[in-house]
Amino acid sequence: MIRVVKLFIIGFISILFTSTIAQTSVLQSGPMTTYATMREAKLWVQTKQSAQVYIQYWQKEVPEKKFKTETISTEKDNAFIAHLLAAPLEPSHAYQYEVYINQKLVQLPYSLEFETTPLWKWRGDAPNFSFATGSCAYINESDYDRPGTPYGSNYQIFEAIHQSNPNFMLWLGDNVYLREADWDSKTGIQHRFTQAHSLPELQALWGSTHHYFIWDDHDYGSNNSDRSFPMKKITQTVFRDFFPNPNYIFDQGNVSFFQWADCDFFLLDNRTWRTPDVRTDIANPTILGNEQLEWLIDGLANSTASFKFVVMGGQFINPMKVEETYENIAPMERAYIIEKIKKLKINGVVFLSGDVHHTELSQYDLTATYPLYDLTVSPFTSGISMKDAELNPLQVAGTLVSVHNFAKVEIYGPLKDRKLKMIIMGSDGHLIWQKEIASNDLKFN
């Protein structure tokens, strides 16, 4: 009898273990923590086939009280992706979570966490926080890449970002590189996004750091693509499936906005409305388009944030007419933005950009006491390029970087004297350079 009971227990454990492994094998990528607000957070999961998915979550300090998202059935049409809303939540709290596929817990070798944004106004000083940022993540796939030396490398950079423990990560475009085999069909686009999302070195970072996204040409379409790209509605749909932001300001394009503590982030779309370079008959070409441009100016003018981050793929401050700088594509629009910042006396503006496959900090003196900065961070894993890197006359000395790298940006100090520290790190997490900027130095007198 005892032997029978033992065999039963062993068999039950074996079935349970096999079932858990089976559910793990159905998981394609993620889970990923995307945006957070004071009241909700969105979690993302992709499976390999149609499956029932839900997430169970709890406050770290109250693990016995568990909550559950709705159950989503993943479907082939949207690449078996589930967007799972954790709500209602409490502001200023840390949560842990776990994933269930087909009613079975998925065991993962790393922690799964998210947090709600802080409720601090009228209650105390602005909280300190940090975020990681950068651009240009090429993940090799030899069957469809160009022949020759692989273009992507140093994937351990995503593990270094995870180890740096930011509150969130801001992706500055070229998060995925579409190729000829990808960009002319929905299934091709989904294939490439799936392949990039499934990189093993990304999974722990997906699971416990919030993520926000813009796109650039390689997420959008072909190299240097513009408003004429015929598949842009399809790439927009796939991008929103794979990279959910807290909002999309317009039905067309990927324009978003979010706040974290005392900082505002304007996530811009530099592709959907961009004038084709070949249209030399147009006197005033655009990158943002009039509606997005005026939305940006309105938002900056209304913002009371200590730092107002303007986030776009291409460089804004660099005054050289090279490649895809703003000055080269839409100089009158660039001048208009600068003029409005001056005329409306908008304090605390900082630009974040990627694209160029090297890192540098540019400084444009808006007034004698107010410098405009553009922190360009690139690349994560794609090829290094120093083309035109030495030509930028507004490049801050000692900030040019020609290795795979990322930035960690720290915001700290009392509200009346906030500090922003830019920290550039290599793919193994070593310090390359850092610079501190005070909010009081980014003001009109």
pLDDT by residue (tens digit) across 313-342? 999 999 999 999 999 999 999 999 999 999
What is residue 212's three-state secondary structure?
strand
How far apart are the C-alpha atoms of 439 and 445, rounded to whole Å?
A: 13
How far apart are the C-alpha atoms of 353 and 133, rounded to whole Å?
A: 9
pLDDT by residue (tens digit) across 44-94? 999 999 999 999 999 999 999 999 999 999 999 999 999 999 999 999 999
How far apart are the C-alpha atoms of 197 and 220, rounded to whole Å?
A: 16
Question: Could you tell me the end-to-end alpha-carbon distance of the chain, in angstroms, rounded to an integer?
Answer: 88
pLDDT by residue (tens digit) across 284-296? 999 999 999 999 9
Q: Token pair 């922690």 is at which residue?
A: 111
What is residue 355's three-state secondary structure?
coil
| DSSP E strand boundaries for 223-345 | 256-260, 263-267, 307-311
Taking residue 430's Cβ as centre, other Cβ atoms within 10 Å add up to 11
Is the per-residue pLDDT at 5 higher than 50?
no
Structural domains of the chain sorted by starting position, each given as residue range(s) with its CATH number in brackets: 27-115 (2.60.40.380), 129-441 (3.60.21.70)
Q: Token pair 């500055």 is at which residue?
A: 172
Which of the pair, 42 or 7, is modelled with greater confidence? Answer: 42
How far apart are the C-alpha atoms of 313 and 226, rounded to whole Å?
A: 13
Is the per-residue pLDDT at 23 higher than 90?
no
Is the per-residue pLDDT at 8 higher than 70?
no
